[in-house]
Chain A
């Protein structure tokens, strides 16, 4: 049963991601990306990471992709504007960057022993309360640093968009 659902979600994730990068219409691409995030949430549920699944939808599909959609809708780029960023050079560059990213990901997972963790973890490890205990007891400093990260992003966004600062 779980295997069947894993394959359903895997096809949704991979298929949507593939469609997202091949669509020429920006809005359609953004929608496929959002669908891919929802599929990832499904995989998280199968792994017992319920809180992470909800956050995946809430933050990635419900906030970040909405920003992408806004930018695409508000800028209203035409085909001619897109010519600048197309062509074989961009494709090769993108492929190299993607491969580097994948290599980095695999390397990090190997080093941290993430590949050795059994996937069928039993018990409420992924419930909201179980996620909270280590986050707010053991990793207090990283948690507080997150607020500085968000603060920096906030300042950056305002500085970029405001024409004149009062």
Chain B
């Protein structure tokens, strides 16, 4: 019973406070960084350096009128934002964000993340369909086709990691990297494919076709406002956090540092958490940096990149890694 209550407390802290909180800070960071990239200031009035801006935004979202337009399918319209947020939160469950601190330390490891993320397609496509408007339906269908197309390259680009480590468990992958060095140095091409696919999976620029303003207004969430829109928004940012966390755990040593061994006990756990936070901060910054640097792909270019370049390339990387190991193993 203590076990269940402890886990429940852990889960409530992570899913109810830490992840949405981090996502809110990320929204602020995105606005500030994009402003600096464009030689502006960005939000800097609310609180020190504008840090309270996300809270102001949240209050505004809550106190906006909760419009349910007359032309939508009501049940699915209300359900879709929740179907978008829930997989985003649950997908974080296996990530060890500090030593021994994954919510669920299971042996299928990252496969669980893939399985849950594959459910995320429903939120987007149902949101587009229930909106019952041309833009939202087009955006929803485009977004789902994009997500399933890049799921292939994303899924295959992790296989070299399992070939080398021989386990799917996230803690085991971190432990292997502690002993033998970061996997990115062994599997650089796989990481590149993983990174590009994760940008497409999170619908971020240069692959943010589902919400290409100039042609689709706001894509699948055109008909959404107030908190329902905010939930879609939150889901996208939590997906970014999870994608960064996976990049760090699979290829950049997770919560451990190279050469330095962190102390054991509670302090070691806190320090490892800080190391992890530092590493994912870099990847989150990369997400923002790329968004405000690269132009958007065209839809046919996007599909060509996914199906004709990244997917076969990921399989070639898998075979090359396996072939190399098969050659050198006595």
Contacts and interface: CB of A to CB of B under 8 A. Distances in A.
A and B touch in the complex (CB under 8 A): yes
Nearest to B83: A31
B114 interface: yes
B111 A128 contact: yes
A55 B107 CA distance: 14
B143 to A, nearest CB: 12
Contacts, number: 70
B76 A50 contact: no
Interface residues of B, number: 26
A117 B209 CA distance: 51
Query: Interface size class for chain A?
Result: 20 to 34
A29 to B, nearest CB: 12
B71 to A, nearest CB: 15
Given A50-B108, A66-B148, A58 B118 contact: yes
Q: Determine the main DSSP class of B at the interface with A.
A: helix
A63 B129 CA distance: 18
A128 B108 contact: yes
B314 interface: no
29 contacts: A27-B126, A27-B129, A28-B76, A38-B119, A50-B106, A50-B107, A51-B111, A54-B108, A54-B111, A54-B114, A54-B115, A55-B115, A58-B115, A61-B115, A61-B119, A62-B119, A66-B118, A66-B121, A66-B144, A66-B148, A69-B126, A73-B125, A73-B140, A73-B141, A127-B107, A128-B108, A128-B111, A128-B168, A129-B167
Interface of A: 25, 27-28, 31, 34, 38, 41, 50-51, 53-55, 57-58, 61-63, 66, 69-70, 73-74, 124, 127-129
